[in-house]
Amino acid sequence: MSKQSDVQLAWSENGEDFTSESLCELIENGELQPGQTIYVGEVKYHSTDWIGADDVIDMIADRGYDEGGEYAECFPDVSEEAQAELEAFLAAWQAKHCAPSFFQVINVKEHVITEEEYAEAKK
């Protein structure tokens, strides 16, 4: 379980575009005023498990059935060890080549800018 201090936050003027990493950054880059409602949420990064061994094996089976019909009903016959090998390969390949540059924002809450927060950001 994460400590609250370990949580990365994202800030937004409209509750949809979370483009700032801090309240000060949002105030500095926007046309905001004290008393204005903005939004803050927790950053949730995506994993890189876009596709797994089951997906690949199912696709191979479908294509095999397209080519061989009922003669390919048990194709491919992949052992658990071979499936685990493919899973490990896909996980490593995706982590290296498919890391997303985007994230989700969860637990979004409204935040009203205080006079103090505004003054601190405008220093």
Threshold 0.75, pTM exceeds: no
8 Å CB contact between 42 and 107 = yes
Give the DSSP H or E segment for 65. Answer: helix 53-68
- pLDDT computed for residue 4 by the predictor: 52
User: Could you tell me the pLDDT band of residue 114, with boundaries at 50, 70 and 90?
Assistant: very high
Helix or strand holding residue 42 (H, E): strand 37-45
Give the model confidence (pLDDT) of 17-75 as tens digits: 999 999 999 999 888 999 999 999 999 998 888 999 999 999 999 999 999 999 999 99
- Mean pLDDT for the chain? 92
Residue-level pLDDT at 6: 83
